[in-house]
Structure formats: C-alpha cells, structure tokens
Chain A
Amino acid sequence: MKAKIIIKYLGFVLLFNAIFLFISAGISLYLHETSFVPLLFSAFMCTILGTLPQVFVETPDEVSFHEGLSISVLGWIITCLIGTIPYFLWGGEFSLANAIFESVSGFTTTGSTILNDIEVLPKGLLFWRASTHFIGGAGIILFVLLILPDKRGIQSSIYHSEVSGLSMMNFKTKTKEIGNIIVIVYCSLVLLETVLLKLLGMEWFDAICHSFATVATGGFSTKNLSIAYYNNIWIEITIMFFMILSSIHFGLIYATILGKKFNIFTSKITRTYIIAIFIGILLVALQLTHEHVYDFNNSLRYASFQVISLATTTGFATADTPNWPIFSILILIYYTIQCGMVGSTSGGLKFDRVYLFFQSLIKQLKLAKHPNGVYSVKVDEITISNEVELQTVVFILLYILTFSVVALLLTAMNIDGITSFSASIATIGNVGPGFGGVSSLGNYAGLPDIAKYLLSINMLLGRLEIVNVIVFLTIITRRK
C-alpha cells in the first residue's frame, strides 16, 4: 500500500471541496456577509493542502484494493473535518462539537442539525451547508473519479470501496459508465427539482438548497420549520416525488428514461419497495384519522410526507411526529431502519438487504421442511450466491449491533430511552430526525458534546457501510 497514492487522491478530495467553498465565499462576498472570511479562509486551506500532493505525485498506473479502500474511508473523514472549519470559524451556535456534528451530518446526508435558529445563518454559510449534502449525496469520491483519467485498475478499485457491491448486481456495465450514470441522473434530478420548486414559488436560493437536500436524501432546510414553513401542498408533492426517485437505484432511473427493458416498472424489488412505502402511508394515515389527530385529508398529507421522508432517509418535516400515536411512531421507526435502495443516494441498511434477508429466511424455512430441496434466492431474476446472502446477514447483524451499542452508550449519558434509541437509528441510517428530544421539528442541540461526537461517528459508519471501516482498521493495524 503506497501512502503517496492515497495522499494524492485525498488532495483531489480537498480540491473538490475547495470549489464549493469558493462558490459559498462568492455568495457571502456578494451579499456582504460575515461568513465571507471563514469561507474564503477554508477554501484557501483546502486548495493549498490539496495542491501539494499534485505537485509531487504522478498519477499512478493502478490503485490496489487496500489503497482504494483507504482513499474512500480517509476521503470521507478528511472531507467531514474540512467541512467543520467554516462553521467553527464563523461562530454563533457552532462550538467544535456542533461544527463537527453539522459537517458530518451534511456530508453523510443525514440532515440532523444542532441549530436552534437556522434562519440567522448567512446565505453563504447556508449554501455551504447545502453543498455538503450535494457533495456527499453522490459521494465525493465518485465526483473525484469522474474528473480523473480512466486508467486501468484505478476507477474500479476506488469505486468498489465507495459504492455498495449490491448496486452493481443488475448492471453489466463498466465502472466508469455506472459512475457517469449516477452523476448524470443526480445532477439532472437536482436541476429539474430546482426549476419546479422555483415555479412553485420558492426563491432561487431556497429552491437550489432544497433540491440539493432532496436529491442527496439529506434533509437540511434553509427554514427553521423545514418544509412546513411553505405550507404548500404542491411543494410537498414535488419534494415527495423527488425523495422517492432519489432513493431508487439511479441506474434504473437512467434505464427507464432510455426506455430499456429492465427499468423501474419491471424491477420487482423496486415495486416491492414502493408498495412497502404506500402500505406505511396508508397505515399511518388511517391511524391518525382514527385517533382524530387530523381529518382524513390532512392525515394522508402529513403521513405521506413523513413516511416518504423517513423511508427515503431524507428527513424533511411537515409535522411534529412525536405527538402522533405510538403505532404510527413505531411504523416510522421501522422505515428509519429500512432506508432506501442501493445505487441511490440514501444511506443506512438499505431496502435491498432487508428484501434479501427475508428471501433468505424463506429459503431457510423451505430447506428446514425439505432438507434435500434445491432453493435459491433471486432478486430481479438474478440468482444471489450463498456468499452474498451470508454477507447480507452479517451486515444486518453488524448494523443492529452498532446502533444498539451507540444507543446504550447514549443512555449511559443520562439521555432518555426513546431519544437514545431513535437518535442512534436515525444517525446510522443517515435519516436525520428521530423521536423524543431529537424529533422532526426539533434538533440535536440539547445533547451533550460527547453524544454529538459519538453520533457523528455513527453517521460516518452508516455512510461507509460499517464493513469498509472495519476492513480499513484491520489494514492499518496490520501494517503497524
């Protein structure tokens, strides 16, 4: 494993961040805001530190798997740390713990915030906050790969460390093509949503920031009341539509647009995913109506938005869900665990793994009944190997273990049970809002600093899919 290669690619990561920091500083300069100097300073730091490796290290002919994995894990960590600087230098509510939490939450597209008053933030800083979603949504490493020459062995090594292996399952295309497809679909969705939100009455600035947050399935809003601020059913419907699209495999969206045979409508797993969301909406809406929380129309409106927001790991809000009946809350918690699909911008466990797990469970039950039978698990007509099945089960177990340990540690800090449990699930799943003290219209400001650091690690673990971090740690400890 060559350190200089890793440093070179980390330099690219810093330079990519610098582009958005310069844009944010430009906005601040234009509006004569107090965030200009912190943003410009951070942009210069990123540029200087990112340029140094480019001066010395020539582009390698190939990158090994271990190097690729290290670039991916360290790239995320460095990006999150760099993202902290403008917040920390600007001040206000941003202490060190708060700045780190907000930065990690942005890049991992979690969307949890520590801000009590978002609207006092200068627009330059708000744009940087939204940019962290945009950069983190498609994955910074993916952006970096696209601007690099397509050398043999480089793209695939890094790409496989960055994107879930499951996302490659149905597509017999080259790594570069998959990367291109993800970025093309990603940018097109952002562009389309921005224009639609503007037409529906949002300011350009808010439309751009909300599009970044929707398509990245992040959830940072420029308003204290999130989407509830607009109280506009058409804005809600538009955002719901884009939240669902952004949580589906981008390759499938691309295939659907090109009119290919295998598309969103023919993919069984995608149909199941969308049906699962609709069942959730119906159950919550019926209970809200039955318990007289709202009339049926409003129940359907709020239930649709909240279920879609949490199921796609976005985290926008139009209602304060902790006041809802416990059955509805439990359904929402289930969707917080389930998350979106692989190949999308959503983080966490991913629906595909839940689907595979249940398919595998059915297979095991059949085998218990007919031990000599031959059964296989299929996803969209593709037979899943026993190895992938085992990896999925191991991942789910690791996921449950991680969020349970984090929830336990939070309770040890005298945080109540529901807040600890939901904060842990919401952060590892990169969802954002939880319940109790960290509800949909609330924030994470009240938690102790140590809890914010712990939840920041939890968000990164969720985004990097735990196993990658464990493998990375074993690589660096073995080297020592």
Chain B
Amino acid sequence: MLSLKTKITFSFALLIFMLIVAGLMSLSEFKKVSSSADQIIKKQYASIEQSKSILESLEHENTGLLMFLAGNMEEGMKIISESDSTIQKIIAETTASAIEKEEKDYLLTIDEEYQKFHSSVLTACRKANSIPLDERNKLYLTEIHPLFSSVKSAVDVFVKHNQENIISQASFVSQRSKRAIMPALVSIIAAILFSIILNFFINEYFVSPIKKITEAVSSFYPEQYNLNIKINSKDEIKELEKEINKMILRLQRSRSQNE
C-alpha cells in the first residue's frame, strides 16, 4: 500500500495535471475563436472592398462609353479599356480567393453579365461613327443601359450575400466563443468534484484516524495494554498506532519491573 506522503503527492499531481489539461484546452479553443474571427473579418472586408471596386470601375466604363458616344472618342476609349482591365483583374482575384461554391457561382454570374455588357459597349463604339448623335442615345438607352443595370444587380446580389455571410459568421463566432468557455466550465465542475472526493479521503484516512488516536490517548487509563482502536489503513497512521501500542507495552513492563 502507498504511504501517506505518496498518496497526497499523487493526488495533487493529478489535480495539477487536470488543471493544466483544462487550461491548455481552453487556451487552444480561445485561440481558434480569435483566429477564425480575425480571418472572417479580413475576408469579408476584402470581399466588400472588391465589390465596391467592381461597381466603381463599372461606372467608369459607363462614363467612358457616354464620353465616346458624345464625341470625346479618344478619352472615352481610354477610360473603357482601363476600366475593363481593372474589372477583369478584380473578378479573377476574387474568384481565386473565394472558398465557397456559392460565392464562386455569384462571381461567375457577375463575369457573364459583365462580358455581355462589355461586348455591347465595344459594338456600340464600332457603330458610333456611322450613326447620328440622337440615334447613339437611343442605342445606349435601349441596348446598353439594361445590360449595365444587370451587371449592377449581379454585384448587388453578391454584396447582399456577403452581408448575410457576415451576420451568419458573426453568430458562428459568437456560438464558438460560448463553446470555448465550456472546457473551462467542465474543468471547474471536475475540479470541485475532485476536491470534494479528496477532502472526503483526507478526512477518512488522515483526520478521522488521528482523531481516533487522540481520543484513545486522552481516555487511556493505566491498566490498559493497548489503545483499543481499529485503524484499517496500512500507512503511517497504522504505524503510529502500532508504535503507541508498543510504547504502552514497554511502559507497562517497566512499571511492573519497578514494582
């Protein structure tokens, strides 16, 4: 059987080990929560910024076309080609960084709508020289503007999806942060339980036998040959009881020799 010292040392080692495990797990959970919150914020911010840039470039391209149709052809064409390359670049970058299939689908729709708009812009530029000014306005209003609106709507849908994503991701992070508290909570309950059981054992194996010995010593009368108590454990307290009983025997013997 283990000695009292070993039992106590081992119990506290177990308690310390439990607290370390609980601490490490809580830390790892909190780290995961903070890192996922950080990632979500960065990703959604970048997504919104990219949508904003697409809309701005789209407006530019539209302005470029209007300038072209109004007669400022060189400046107009320059703006159109600059805006086109910006939009193509943003769409390609956003698609490459998209993780969800849904997000990729939205970007594909934007790209398809934009390609329709852009090819109609180029067609209008080619036709512009051969038709009068009032005809050009009609061409813009009937053929190009609806396509421009379609691209804007597709981008709006994407922005809305991103906004909804932010809300759902925020609730996921909030749920996850609540979960991160759970290991700590379970550990607190386990530590309380551990302490109650340890307290019970300390009382059962230390306090109670010592009390028994104290009571037996205080109520000891000279004719007794032992303490008359029963210690069930096989540790230092049992040794103490044995030694006291041996001492009593030695004292009794020496007294009888003196008499």
Binding site for B on A (CB under 8 A): 3-4, 7, 37, 41, 44-45, 48-49, 51-53, 55-58, 85, 88-89, 91
With a cutoff of 8 Å between Cβ atoms, the chain A residues found around residue B198 in the complex are 52
CA distance A223 to B194 in the complex (A): 38
The prevalent SS among residues of B at the interface is helix
Q: How far is the CB of B197 from chain A (nearest CB, A)?
A: 6
With a cutoff of 8 Å between Cβ atoms, the chain A residues found around residue B17 in the complex are 44, 48
With a cutoff of 8 Å between Cβ atoms, the chain B residues found around residue A3 in the complex are 200
- B201: interface (CB < 8 Å): yes
Partner of A45, one of B11, B18, B234: B18
- B10: interface (CB < 8 Å): yes
Contacts A41-B21, A44-B21, A58-B1 given: A4-B190 contact, CB under 8 Å? Answer: no
- B182: interface (CB < 8 Å): yes
CA distance A346 to B163 in the complex (A): 52
CA distance A49 to B193 in the complex (A): 8
- B104: interface (CB < 8 Å): no
Q: How far is the CB of A77 from chain B (nearest CB, A)?
A: 13
CA distance A404 to B89 in the complex (A): 69
* B165-203 CB contacts (< 8 Å) to partner A: 175-176, 179, 182-183, 186-187, 190, 193-194, 197-198, 200-201
* B6-21 CB contacts (< 8 Å) to partner A: 7, 10-11, 14-15, 17-18, 21
Tally of chain B residues near chain A (CB < 8 A):
32
With a cutoff of 8 Å between Cβ atoms, the chain B residues found around residue A55 in the complex are 2, 7, 10-11, 14
Contacts A4-B201, A55-B2, A91-B175 given: A49-B190 contact, CB under 8 Å? Answer: yes
- B48: interface (CB < 8 Å): no
The reply to whether B7 and A48 contact each other, CB–CB distance below 8 Å, is: no
Whose C-beta in chain A lies nearest to the C-beta of B182? A89
The reply to whether B25 and A48 contact each other, CB–CB distance below 8 Å, is: no
Contacts A4-B201, A91-B179 given: A52-B21 contact, CB under 8 Å? Answer: no
With a cutoff of 8 Å between Cβ atoms, the chain A residues found around residue B143 in the complex are none
The reply to whether A85 and B186 contact each other, CB–CB distance below 8 Å, is: yes
The reply to whether B234 and A58 contact each other, CB–CB distance below 8 Å, is: yes
CA distance A55 to B2 in the complex (A): 8
- B205: interface (CB < 8 Å): yes
Q: 18 more A-B contacts (CB under 8 A) besides A44-B18, A56-B204?
A: A4-B201, A37-B28, A41-B22, A41-B25, A41-B183, A44-B17, A45-B186, A45-B190, A48-B14, A48-B190, A49-B193, A49-B194, A55-B7, A56-B7, A58-B234, A88-B182, A89-B183, A91-B179
